Structure 1
Amino acid sequence: MNYEIDGTSRIPAYIQLYQMLRSDIIAGVYSYGSKLPSKRTMAEETGVSVITIEHTVELLCEEGYTEARPRSGVYVIFKKSDFQGMPAVIGMEHSLTGQWMEAAGKSWETEPMFDDRSGSGGSSALNFPPKSAHASVPAFSYGSSAAKVHGHIHLHTDSEFPYTVLAKTMRRVLLDYGERILVKSPNDGCAELRSEISAYMARSRSIHVKPDQIIIGSGAEYLYSLVAQMFGKETVFALEDPSYGKIRQVYEAYGIRCDMLPLKPDGIASEDLRKTRATVLHITPFNSYPTGISVGGTKKQEYLGWAAQRGGILIEDNYDSELTISGRAENSLFSMTEQENVIYMNTFSRTIAPSIRVGYMILPERLIEIFHRRLGFYSCTVPAYDQYVLAELLRSGDFERHINRVRRRKRKEKKTENFTKR
């Protein structure tokens, strides 16, 4: 490890080492699956403290380049092959941090950006290949926000999933699963996907559940309908006001009375929570639409206390929560209580693509039997093939690597925004 730390630089030593290690990982010096030298070895060879090395390793793990395995070491999980045909990755081994600082004429205090992109124009490292890479296949649109230019589609989403990774996974499922993709899915979803979601939730959100607590369905609206039918129209629901309009529309379509509670900057006001007659509270604790409000730990505890005091249920709608720009995912209400009074919901339409109409609902164990008794006759609305593809994306780590890339890019964009305001 021939890395030289510049002691005269204003850039902290752990960032310098991070940049050098990242460049070598991208260049293939440390290939996918290889083990990095031990922290003590790196400290001795670079002349810095073990604490500095720990900061470097933590940043590499957060950015999706490596993962730390207990009692084993730190391993590379970055695969450049995932981005073959994607021009935004070409030349990304040249760090943008130094280029950005030089162009801006600023010192380290201006908060450099960590990013894997190169070139100009602000193109995303997650952009799809140009037309020439798929000459016979027209570009496709992620939702209505896509703009047509010269008859082709330019994507306008902030979480584009690498097309090459998705296509490779789909081909692998066709080959490996064979005729199993033609078999009807179990009513609550394929065991493979439910098992992978269970493992993913434990890793990423500290939510430890059994696969049989997970119900697979075709998107959030379908899951809302299941909740409405499970509790029945005699139950009063409380919703954030304002909130995503289809939540109320779906519930009212099933005869549910919805009590709209005004959403304040820190969440629903305590007085309004006390006054409502509802026993089910549907909330979006992270980045609530359309206000963008995220509630803190104190308000989350208040929501949990509200449910416990009246024997109620919280529906934690965590759409968009993976894309937080913080170093760690937001604490979920489900993981903060043992009272079994939280139903967790999320979908893959935001993190992969709007066309992926797959969502999942995690039930507390005490509601599993009730759900199956009342609604177990419903067939799963997601084809088995789609479920196997998602299971493989989770199992391989491709999904989590994608999430880390998007969060890294969003952090960089936030730092750019803060810099331009100075």
Structure 2
Amino acid sequence: MKYRIYKASKTPAYEQLYRLLRADIAEGVLPPRYKLPSKRFLAAELEIAVITVEHAYELLCDEGYAVSRPRSGYYVAYGAEGLTAGAPRATQAQMSAHNIGADEDFPFSVLAKTMRRVLSRCDRGILVKSPNRGTDELRRAIADYLLRSRGISAAPERIVIGSGAEYLYGLIAQLFERGSSFAVENPCYEKIPRVYEANGIACIPLKMGSDGISSSALSECRASALHVTPFHSYPSGITAAAAKRAEYIDWARRGGAFIVEDDYASEFAVAGRQIDTMFSLAPDIVVYVNTFTKTIAPAMRMGYMLLPESLDTLFSKKLDFYSCTVPVFEQYVLAEFINNGDLERSINRRRRRLRRDRQLFSTEDGTD
């Protein structure tokens, strides 16, 4: 392999290698079932760290270009040569990340015990009305969880609890003047533009490329905010590369706009490192949104948003009269579930199952 990694480049070395390998696989230069060089060999040849090669290989696995065989190595996936670098493969693992919910891996008995503990401890406290932004207990638990899982330093007082993403989208829309415009991915989850438009926001669809929104479409867009799902855009499954996320932030700063970062399905990265959140990179202009629909169950209609300081101040002035739409009992249960580590243990079990599903899918697809 005659690859060159530019260490002075702003693009991380693992991402450079990933793109080079992806292009060769898509073009058929590296044929199906071809065994990729060992991590140590390629690291020595390119004068980079072994972990850098591992990150590149795992990204290839995440997008269906390669598969990992225990005690054997990494191989080009069967059928990957039919892809183009502009059309990431929708792997079984990616599809599962959309459909995953309450299933055989979910610890129902643990959740039941948590509910009983909360009932015993809080007694009639579960009957009181929730603070408008949610209970302090849950907001602190979420802030701690975000620091552990996503590296986000979150102020609990800037977290707003609500009954799912759609409800939170509606609140975000009300922070802007009616008639404002939001840019959205095209394609995207169909309810995103519908909720915004129902709240008087015009939506501008922006065409998706291989690593996120098309640069030309974004550069020509003038909008008050950009709504993106950088980790796992639905339904395309595209993950925005580091350079693309930086491009989003640069676009927002130059235009005085905000970004709504919907961190959909990020918990189920089955391989490789999770991408950095844009909130971590630009906390003054990014609204971070996530829910527990995938991590617990669809019936758990609970989500949260983390506001930047300017929008938090505006929220206090315009929207703090809204009552919290999530019962206090459910908030206490979730806070306990997070604080005792059961949420993360449940997520890790599901990640392991997704890895098994991906291996099974690769075998059925003719790789083994």
TM-score between the two structures when normalised by the length of structure 1? 0.62
1:378 is aligned to: 322
**Structure 1 residues 169 and 270, CA, compared in 2 at 3 Å: closer, same or farther?**
same
Partners of 2:104 and 2:205 lie apart in 1 by 31
Partners of 2:73 and 2:360 lie apart in 1 by 10
1:324 is aligned to: 269
- Do structure 1's residue 401 and structure 2's residue 345 form an aligned pair? yes
| 1:247 counterpart SS class | helix
Contact 2:180 2:200 in 1 (8 A): no
Contact 1:244 1:290 in 2 (8 A): yes
Contact 1:158 1:406 in 2 (8 A): no
| 1:344 counterpart SS class | strand
Contact 2:229 2:261 in 1 (8 A): yes
Q: How do 1:310-389 residues align onto structure 2 when only pairs under 5 Å count?
A: 310-338=255-283, 340-389=284-333
Match of 2:72 among 106, 109, 112: 109
Contact 1:324 1:330 in 2 (8 A): no
Contact 2:101 2:298 in 1 (8 A): no
Q: How do 1:132-171 residues align onto structure 2 when only pairs under 5 Å count?
A: 160-171=105-116
1:208 is aligned to: 153
How far off is 1:412 after superposition? 2.2
1:223 is aligned to: 168
- Do structure 1's residue 276 and structure 2's residue 239 form an aligned pair? no
Contact 1:242 1:262 in 2 (8 A): yes
Per-residue deviation, residues 269-325 of structure 1 (Å, max 9, x unmatched): 111111112120000112211111111111011001111111110000112111111
Q: Give 2:246's aligned amino acid.
A: Q
- Do structure 1's residue 240 and structure 2's residue 185 form an aligned pair? yes
How far off is 1:405 after superposition? 1.0
**Structure 1 residues 250 and 107, CA, compared in 2 at 3 Å: closer, same or farther?**
closer
Structure 1 unaligned regions, length at least 5: 1-54, 56-105, 112-144, 146-154
Contact 2:101 2:294 in 1 (8 A): no
**Structure 1 residues 159 and 224, CA, compared in 2 at 3 Å: closer, same or farther?**
farther
Contact 1:218 1:382 in 2 (8 A): yes
Per-residue deviation, residues 321-350 of structure 1 (Å, max 9, x unmatched): 111112443311111225x10000000011
| 1:373 counterpart SS class | helix
- Do structure 1's residue 293 and structure 2's residue 256 form an aligned pair? no
Contact 2:212 2:239 in 1 (8 A): yes
Per-residue deviation, residues 177-216 of structure 1 (Å, max 9, x unmatched): 1111111100000000000000000111010011001000
**Structure 1 residues 306 and 160, CA, compared in 2 at 3 Å: closer, same or farther?**
farther
TM-score between the two structures when normalised by the length of structure 2? 0.71
| 1:231 counterpart SS class | coil
| 2:245 counterpart SS class | helix
**Structure 1 residues 156 and 300, CA, compared in 2 at 3 Å: closer, same or farther?**
closer
How far off is 1:419 after superposition? 3.6
How far off is 1:156 after superposition? 7.7
How far off is 1:366 after superposition? 2.2
Per-residue deviation, residues 20-54 of structure 1 (Å, max 9, x unmatched): xxxxxxxxxxxxxxxxxxxxxxxxxxxxxxxxxxx
2:95 is aligned to: none
Contact 1:220 1:347 in 2 (8 A): yes
Q: Give 1:308's aligned amino acid.
A: R
Contact 1:159 1:351 in 2 (8 A): no
| 1:234 counterpart SS class | coil
**Structure 1 residues 408 and 313, CA, compared in 2 at 3 Å: closer, same or farther?**
same
| 2:312 counterpart SS class | helix
Partners of 1:174 and 1:256 lie apart in 2 by 42
Structure 2 unaligned regions, length at least 5: 1-50, 52-68, 75-98
Q: What percentage of aligned pairs have identical amino acids?
A: 49
Q: Give 1:357's aligned amino acid.
A: R
Q: Give 1:175's aligned amino acid.
A: S
**Structure 1 residues 291 and 261, CA, compared in 2 at 3 Å: closer, same or farther?**
same
RMSD across aligned positions (CA)? 2.0
How far off is 1:246 after superposition? 0.5
- Do structure 1's residue 390 and structure 2's residue 334 form an aligned pair? yes
1:265 is aligned to: 210
How far off is 1:167 after superposition? 0.8
Partners of 1:234 and 1:372 lie apart in 2 by 22
Partners of 1:321 and 1:212 lie apart in 2 by 23
